[in-house]
Structure 1
Amino acid sequence: MRGHDWINSTLPDELIVEILCRLDSKSSRDACSLVCKRWLRLERLSRESLRIGASGSPNALVKLLARRFPNVRNVFIDERLSVPLPVQFRGRLTEYALESEFYSENGETGSEDNGTQSFCLSDAGLTAVGEGFSKIETLSLIWCSNITNVGLRSITEHCKSLKALDLQGCYIGDQGIAAVGEFCKQLEDLNLRFCEGLTDSGLVSLVVGCAKTLKSLGVAACAKITDKSLEAVGSHCTSLEILSLDSEFIRDKGVLAVAQGCPLLKTLKLQCVNVSDEALQGVGNSCLSLEILALYSFQIFTDKSLCAIGKGCKRLKSLTLNDCNFLSDKGLEAVAVGCSGLTHLEVNGCHNIGTFGLESIGRSCTQLSELALLYCQRIGNYALCEIGKGCKFLQALHLVDCASIGDDAICSIASGCKNLKKLHIRRCYEVGNKGIVAVGENCKFLADLSLRFCDRVGDEALIAIGQGCSLHHLNVSGCHHIGDAGIIAIARGCPQLSYLDVSVLQNLGDMAMAELGEGCPLLKDVVLSHCRQITDVGLSYLVSKCTLLETCHMVYCPGITTAGVATVITSCAYIKKVLVEKWKVSPRTKRRAGSIISYLCVDL
Structure 2
Amino acid sequence: MRGADLINTKLPADIVACIFLRLAGSKSDCDAFSLVCSRWLAIDRSFRATIRIGGSGRADEVVSLLVRRFSGLRNVCIDERLPVSSVHQILPYPSRPRSKRRRLNSSSGDHHLIKSSVAGESEYEQFCLTDVGLSSLANGCKALQNLCLIWCPNLTSSGLNSIAENCKFLKSLDLQGCYIGDQGLIAIGQNCKLQDLNLKFCEGLTDTGLVGLARHCGRSLKSLGIAACAWITDVTLEAVAFHCSSLETLSLDSELVMNKGLISVAQGCRALKGLKLQCINITDEALEAVGSFCSSLELLALYSFQRFTDRELLDLALLYCPRIRNSALHEISKGCLHLQALDLVDCSNIDDEALCSIAKGCRNLKKLHIRRCYQVGDHGVISVGENCLSLTDLSLRFCDRVGDEALIAIGQGCPLQNLNVSGCHQITNAGITAIARGCPGLICLDISVLQNLKDIALAELGEGCPILKEIVLSHCRQITDAGLAHLVKGCTRLETCHMVYCPSVTSSGIATVISSCPSLKKLLVEKGKVSERSKRRASSILSYLCVDL
Q: Normalising to structure 2: TM-score of the pair?
A: 0.55
Q: Which residue of 1 aligns with 2:190?
A: 182
Q: Which residue of 2 aligns with 1:544?
A: none
Residue pair 1:281, 1:304 contacting (<8 A) in 2 also: no
Q: Which residue of 2 aligns with 1:76?
A: 77
How far the C-alpha of 1:153 sits from its partner, in A, is: 0.9
Residue pair 2:283, 2:308 contacting (<8 A) in 1 also: yes
- Return closer, same or farther for 1:287/1:195 CA change in 2, 3 Å cut-off: same
Residue pair 1:256, 1:283 contacting (<8 A) in 2 also: yes
How far the C-alpha of 1:277 sits from its partner, in A, is: 1.0
- Give SS of 1:258's match: helix
Residue pair 1:168, 1:193 contacting (<8 A) in 2 also: yes
Say whether residues 1:337 and 2:354 are aligned partners.
no
CA distance in 2, matches of 1:71, 1:271: 39
233, 240, 245: which one aligns with 1:226:
233
How far the C-alpha of 1:316 sits from its partner, in A, is: 8.7
- Give SS of 1:82's match: coil
- Give SS of 2:132's match: helix
- Give SS of 1:304's match: coil
CA distance in 2, matches of 1:38, 1:239: 45
Residue pair 2:271, 2:296 contacting (<8 A) in 1 also: yes
How far the C-alpha of 1:55 sits from its partner, in A, is: 3.4
- Return closer, same or farther for 1:204/1:235 CA change in 2, 3 Å cut-off: same
Q: Which residue of 2 aligns with 1:121?
A: 129
Matched residue pairs, number? 335
- Give SS of 2:226's match: strand
* Deviation readout 1:47-94 (Å, 9 max, x if unpaired): 111101143211110000001111000010111222315766334x87
CA distance in 1, matches of 2:121, 2:346: 57
- For residues 425-440 of structure 1, the aligned pairs below 5 Å read none
Residue pair 1:122, 1:147 contacting (<8 A) in 2 also: yes
Residue pair 1:288, 1:314 contacting (<8 A) in 2 also: no
- Give SS of 1:273's match: coil
Q: Which residue of 2 aligns with 1:240?
A: 247
- Give SS of 2:224's match: strand
- Return closer, same or farther for 1:90/1:244 CA change in 2, 3 Å cut-off: same
Q: Which residue of 2 aligns with 1:376?
A: none
Residue pair 2:52, 2:76 contacting (<8 A) in 1 also: yes
Say whether residues 1:55 and 2:63 are aligned partners.
no
Say whether residues 1:196 and 2:197 are aligned partners.
no
Residue pair 1:139, 1:162 contacting (<8 A) in 2 also: yes
- For residues 142-157 of structure 1, the aligned pairs below 5 Å read 142-157=150-165
Q: Which residue of 2 aligns with 1:139?
A: 147
- Give SS of 2:305's match: coil
Q: Which structure has the larger Rg over C-alpha atoms?
A: 2
- Return closer, same or farther for 1:66/1:317 CA change in 2, 3 Å cut-off: farther
* Deviation readout 1:450-476 (Å, 9 max, x if unpaired): xxxxxxxxxxxxxxxxxxxxxxxxxxx
CA distance in 1, matches of 2:203, 2:146: 22
Residue pair 2:62, 2:91 contacting (<8 A) in 1 also: no
- Return closer, same or farther for 1:366/1:298 CA change in 2, 3 Å cut-off: farther
State the AA in 2 paired with 1:214: L
Q: Normalising to structure 1: TM-score of the pair?
A: 0.50
Q: Which residue of 2 aligns with 1:21?
A: 21
Residue pair 2:319, 2:347 contacting (<8 A) in 1 also: no
Say whether residues 1:290 and 2:291 are aligned partners.
no
- Give SS of 2:301's match: strand
How far the C-alpha of 1:2 sits from its partner, in A, is: 3.0
Q: Which residue of 2 aligns with 1:167?
A: 175
How far the C-alpha of 1:4 sits from its partner, in A, is: 2.3
- For residues 21-40 of structure 1, the aligned pairs below 5 Å read 21-23=21-23, 24-40=25-41
* Deviation readout 1:334-383 (Å, 9 max, x if unpaired): 59934657899xxxxxxxx99958xx99x99979xxxxxxxxxxxxxxxx
Q: CA RMSD in A?
A: 3.7
CA distance in 1, matches of 2:323, 2:275: 10
* Deviation readout 1:173-199 (Å, 9 max, x if unpaired): 111111111111x10000010111111
State the AA in 2 paired with 1:33: S
Say whether residues 1:271 and 2:309 are aligned partners.
no
Give percent identity, aligned residues only. Answer: 51
How far the C-alpha of 1:129 sits from its partner, in A, is: 1.1
- Return closer, same or farther for 1:134/1:316 CA change in 2, 3 Å cut-off: farther
- Give SS of 2:300's match: strand
State the AA in 1 paired with 2:9: S
Structure 1: gaps spanning 5 or more residues? 96-111, 320-325, 345-352, 368-389, 391-604
- Give SS of 1:300's match: coil
- For residues 350-429 of structure 1, the aligned pairs below 5 Å read 356=361
CA distance in 1, matches of 2:372, 2:341: 6
Residue pair 1:48, 1:72 contacting (<8 A) in 2 also: yes
Residue pair 1:263, 1:286 contacting (<8 A) in 2 also: yes
